[in-house]
Amino acid sequence: MRKLLTFLAAAAVLLASPLAQAERLKDLATIAGVRENQLSGYGIVVGLDGTGDQTTQTPFTVQSIAAMLQQQGVSLPPGTALQLKNVAAVMVTTSLPAFAQPGQTIDITVSSIGNAKSLRGGTLVMTPLKGADGQIYAMAQGNVLVGGVGAQAGGAQTVVNHLSVGKISNGATVERAVANSLGADNQIRLELKQTDFATAARVVEAVNNHFGPGIATALDGRVVRVRTPSSSDQRVAFLGILQGLDVSPDKGAAKVIMNARTGSVVMNQAVMLEACAISHGNLSVTITNDTQVSQPNPRSGGQTAVTQNASIEIRKDPGKVLNVPGGASLAEVVKAMNAIGASPQDLLSILQALKAAGSLRAELEII
């Protein structure tokens, strides 16, 4: 634990260095309208080796097979009870990239929604993939690749990795393109990934210094409007240069993120402490039971008795009081916690107490 805190202290020193680190504009902002679109569809995987859905518990699998056979011109007699072991109902999901055109292929993920034991060796039957508007944008089909293996015998079972999810590389073909209004009215909108007025102002300054005054205008702390050339080829070249511009983002608000389930504590370099004193000590109580068996002498007529001898030990480690000067940086905060031997779980309580006392100049967020 001391090694972990020492590493954090070293990292904090590096973060607190005066060297300003510029980032590419493409890492700080996205272009409005240039995005992926999620697609999904309901399909059937066939050709499994007896690891498919149990049809008595997944009636929708039987209904899907009956409907598919009906479309293929095969009519089942009324009341036919299908006992299928090589078929599994699945959900097919993928993301349609920006500017994808009909005929392009994309990767898909196939996930079992029934009680199939494995999708290994199965084949996905042609499945339409729809968007949020209900329109079909791609068609999926192919052999499912599962990155795992499982075996069972004599009541024992061994499974390596996840067998109910697989992927198909280039398993879907795009059938419809998504309309895009990039460059409409000879302008685009840059949307910062984190709302920050200072960073938005620096983006405007960087763009105008490179392309000329009046090219970029900040609409608010998140959106920057940029004028673009009218022709498509010039616009593409312009956006390529634009996304490669270096911008030094503002360091942002001081924030401490705490995960109460794992005990993880993450602080950024803007975290500061007011003058305060921190005390830390541990109280541990240990209770043990020593089981003893009392055996009577032969022919004494007594009975065997089991007794429990409880032992209670209370140990209190000596507490430490550490004085932290006002304006302490992240490096000094971590060093202070390391000096009193605080674990990540102890940091949760200490930082909450510092925030309640008004000594922690940062936003405290518990996830």
Q: 307-358 pLDDT, tens per residue?
A: 767 666 666 666 566 666 666 665 676 676 666 666 767 777 777 887 888 8
Q: How far apart are CA 38 and CA 91, in angstroms?
A: 13
* Residue 28 domain-assigned (yes or no): no
Closest CA to 11 of 345, 360, 333, 346: 333
Q: With contact defined as beta carbons under 8 Å apart, do 192 and 227 qualify?
A: no
pLDDT value at position 246?
93
Pick the range with the lowest mean pLDDT from 95-104, 134-143, 177-186. 177-186
Match 């109902």 to its residue by tokens. Answer: 89
**How far apart, in Å, do the first and last CA atoms of the chain sit?**
22
- Host domain of residue 123: 37-174
Query: What is the rounded average pLDDT of the residues 9-25?
Result: 55
Average pLDDT, the chain: 81
Tokens of 291: 């089981």
Do 346 and 279 share a domain, yes or no?
yes
Query: Could you read off the pLDDT of 231-290 as tens digits, one per residue?
Result: 989 999 999 999 999 999 887 778 888 887 777 778 787 787 777 777 666 655 565 667
* Residue 19 domain-assigned (yes or no): no
H helix or E strand, kind and range, residue 236: helix 232-243
* 347 vs 54: which has the higher pLDDT: 54
Do 60 and 168 share a domain, yes or no?
yes
Count of the separate structural domains present in the chain: 3
Sorted by sequence, the CB contacts under 8 Å of residue 123 that are 6+ apart come out as 45, 46, 47, 142, 143, 144
292 DSSP 8-state letter: E
Do 69 and 106 share a domain, yes or no?
yes
Q: Of 146, 174, 202, which residue sits at a domain end?
A: 174
Residue 39 dihedral angles phi and psi, to the nearest 5° = -125, 150
Query: Could you read off the pLDDT of 154-212 as tens digits, one per residue?
Result: 555 566 667 889 999 999 999 999 988 888 889 999 999 988 999 999 999 999 999 99
pLDDT value at position 177?
93
Query: What is the rounded average pLDDT of the residues 138-143?
Result: 96
Tokens of 224: 């920057």
Query: What is the rounded average pLDDT of the residues 64-93?
Result: 85
Do 80 and 121 share a domain, yes or no?
yes
